[in-house]
Amino acid sequence: MFKQCPCCQHPWQSRRAFLSDPATRLVGYQVNFEDLQLGFFLFDHDTCGTSLALPAGDFQDMYDGEIFQQRKTGTPDCPEYCLQRDTLSACPAACECAFVREVLQMILAWPKRSPGGVMPPATDG
């Protein structure tokens, strides 16, 4: 199982099922500058009103682009999106955090299951 709601106990068998569920909504990102994989993607489960925090590392394999080695936080190149929990915008900086911002964009664009329960084509587990 990928995740279970701690409030209503609704299970999601895979990341794909979680992201495709119309009742899950990405609402934020909580950065961990020491280890970006330990930051959290923040979701609301609209069915029961619970907030869910999932480690960014659970989504890292969705990104296959360049991983920059240097963090730009605090420089003129940085718009400081990572410091704003509810900002989900892509970042233009060539920063080590940029991959997280790209994954956020992929999650935001992820197709949701139709009301009839039809799932989008599989692209991950």
Write the CA distances from 41 to 16, 32, 51, 115, 121, integer angstroms.
Answer: 15, 11, 10, 25, 23
Tokens of 116: 């009839």
Write the CA distances from 44 to 27, 89, 91, integer angstroms.
Answer: 7, 18, 23
The rounded distance, in Å, linking the Cα atoms of 86 and 63 is 21
pTM of the model: 0.88
Cβ atoms within 10 Å, residue 11? 11
Give per-residue pLDDT as tens, 8-61: 999 999 999 999 999 999 999 999 999 999 999 999 999 999 999 999 999 999
Mapping DSSP to helix (H, G, I), strand (E, B) and coil, where does residue 29 land?
A: strand
Give per-residue pLDDT as tens, 55-112: 999 999 999 998 899 999 999 999 999 999 999 999 999 999 999 999 999 999 999 9
CB 124 within 8 A of CB 13: no
